[in-house]
Structure 1
């Protein structure tokens, strides 16, 4: 059915609140441009995508939205699966962050176009929909934007949630007196919810989503192509970083303020007992590189920017600080052990699965609300280890770093786990294809309607 059937009063209330936040949206845009985002991003943020997209060849048309790097990783396998199912499809991939955009262009060559998501202020999403005219709007994980979804339904698009998840915090907000009707309105736009776990699916049902709209397909973040580095690739990266084969590299990825201090204290405690140990810090936001280098110096160590690594042997008192974008996922492949940040402080954690794709054991703090099913899965399988502070971080890292046999066992177990989740992206593509086809009279599938171009 063409047109949005959502509750009008909630749409107007949502739009009113969005417009009250308009100054914040504008300030955010100017800050992004001052920090290096292209000025033409304002065309994206206001929904003024290229008019040529409106008549671009290819059917069906998919708009896939992934907010940042972790969601883009999930989207990459889904886009590949959609391309296999629909070779002639036209695919737009949108993100919010600059790092997400860089990762999308690098990892998702199967997409036809890339853009930043429009600000969720009417009429910007409507203008974007008039140019994209998707058959399906595919939202990765929990990207529920009210005006965007309303515009999609108004233009006759199906809306699909892929790799859906509901964090502890989101689920709690959705059950408050105000949150309950708001989330019920937001979720009413969804035609199909493809969830990553039984827990996430059950939470969605408790919020009022019809059972026949919810499916558990597995975690598409675990359904990735083989990412293990070849021996040649490892040798080249080691040479660039000044590492020898016998070095034990500890990669602390996606860290926030306060977490580097804990990692450095743990590293200084372990380093005298493990002469081969080396450390690489990868702050979540590249603009923090300067402050991270200052923190390294405060611990009596010498920081070294990744971009300036020239192959000179890395000494134990030197710490590499990652100042490049889109390289962390690959560098996990050199690690003996990894720590994933955003978890020792209340930020909800980050993608715990990136190191696991390389068979690397994962350490993380107690604040993993955004990745609770992943954290529980890793603990249960003996592949991930929760820590509460620098002391536990040092103790757990010590157990892993001193036992090569234990690390090899974890690498083998990781391969078995990934094998069990293989095919999640294909299941997502199959479910989307079934939704687009629908059921016609006598059980026949309805073909996708030809693209309508207004003149």
Structure 2
């Protein structure tokens, strides 16, 4: 990065969310290169950590422009001492949906790997913590009482944890590990995604999704925008401090459901799985949302290029 700055003298140096590379920031300023930090989502907890560190707030105060995802994040930046003229609220960026041909290919490929037949309801719970997996399995058990052919794909946030399958094993539900399928279709009702880098495609198999890290206050939580890029109905818990701007935007559009216990989760999953008219209307609304959300990148570009 240092060599690129010295050789190419770019118009702007853009960091995503934050930067600890203060040497790059200082060099860019010396060279007259605009420093931008985009997609800043700053929780009160993280802002407190920056305030306590000697150079914590410098990562934002030295930037020429900070693009925040929401008003509450702008206020925390102000509290850190960032000049108000250097902060712009752009909203949360929405990932572009997969191309139609890729969407079909990936969805078909993963459905075959997981042994999912046409018409079978599939719940994908992604980036989950062990504290919430018991709730999800109980909700799935309730779904099975009404829809016995339903399947659950459970994707833990940390695939390296020692107790990866402990909660599923204790539930008594039959399960298979993704890493041990060896090219054969899964036979169990629960598939444990114990591999990395595949969740972004596995969302495409879902009839309805659950976003992990939201049933308890722990960790940053997962963004609902990733499964929504597949136009999949999304459920999540009531804890989403790190994702406040994205979740509030989704709630305004009516494309995310907040659930607090197994009974509500099961009811919501069944409603999304069994009502074709609901899914059709949801898909249309979500497509409109994705088109609208992609304009955030245009606002980034305009802000970066604006002298």
Question: What range is the shorter-chain TM-score in?
Answer: 0.7 to 0.9
Does the residue aligned with 2:67 lie in a helix, a strand or coil?
strand
1:287 aligned residue (147, 155, 160)? 160
Partner of 2:177: 305
Matches within 5 A, 1:340-355: 340-347=211-218, 348-355=220-227
The alpha-carbon deviation at position 338 of structure 1 amounts to 0.7
Does the residue aligned with 2:82 lie in a helix, a strand or coil?
coil
The alpha-carbon deviation at position 204 of structure 1 amounts to 2.8
Matches within 5 A, 1:21-420: 54=3, 59-61=8-10, 136-141=12-17, 143-145=18-20, 148-154=21-27, 156=30, 158-171=34-47, 173=48, 179=52, 184-220=57-93, 222-224=94-96, 226-227=98-99, 229-288=102-161, 291-309=163-181, 312=184, 314-315=186-187, 317-347=188-218, 348-420=220-292
- TM-score for both structures, normalised by structure 2: 0.86
Does the residue aligned with 2:148 lie in a helix, a strand or coil?
coil
The alpha-carbon deviation at position 159 of structure 1 amounts to 2.6
CA RMSD of aligned residues (A): 2.9
Does the residue aligned with 2:39 lie in a helix, a strand or coil?
strand
The superposition leaves residues 53-74 of structure 1 with CA deviations (integer Å, 9 ceiling, x where unpaired) of 737997345xxxxxxxxxxxxx
Matched-pair contact (CA < 8 Å) for 2:126–2:199: yes
Name the CA shift for 1:286/1:181 in 2 (closer, same or farther; >3 Å). Answer: closer
- TM-score for both structures, normalised by structure 1: 0.60
The alpha-carbon deviation at position 161 of structure 1 amounts to 0.9
Matched-pair contact (CA < 8 Å) for 1:150–1:189: no
The alpha-carbon deviation at position 304 of structure 1 amounts to 1.1
| Distance of 1:398 and 1:235 partners within structure 2 | 22
| Distance of 2:45 and 2:122 partners within structure 1 | 34
| Distance of 1:336 and 1:406 partners within structure 2 | 12
The alpha-carbon deviation at position 417 of structure 1 amounts to 0.9
Matched-pair contact (CA < 8 Å) for 2:115–2:185: yes
Matched-pair contact (CA < 8 Å) for 2:140–2:152: yes
The structure with the largest alpha-carbon Rg is 1
| Distance of 2:45 and 2:192 partners within structure 1 | 31
Give aligned pairs, total.
Answer: 302
Does the residue aligned with 1:329 lie in a helix, a strand or coil?
helix
The superposition leaves residues 36-60 of structure 1 with CA deviations (integer Å, 9 ceiling, x where unpaired) of xxxxxxxxxxxxx9xxx73799734
Matched-pair contact (CA < 8 Å) for 2:126–2:210: yes
The superposition leaves residues 248-280 of structure 1 with CA deviations (integer Å, 9 ceiling, x where unpaired) of 110000011222211111111211210231000
The superposition leaves residues 108-153 of structure 1 with CA deviations (integer Å, 9 ceiling, x where unpaired) of xxxxxxxxxxxxxxxxxxxxxxxxxxx7442212x243xx225531
Unaligned runs of 5+ in 1: 1-48, 62-134, 439-455
The alpha-carbon deviation at position 319 of structure 1 amounts to 1.2
The superposition leaves residues 186-244 of structure 1 with CA deviations (integer Å, 9 ceiling, x where unpaired) of 43211111222344334434544223212233433x14253554434322221122111
Name the CA shift for 1:373/1:219 in 2 (closer, same or farther; >3 Å). Answer: closer
Does the residue aligned with 1:258 lie in a helix, a strand or coil?
helix
Structure having greater relative contact order (Cα 8 Å, sep ≥ 6): 2
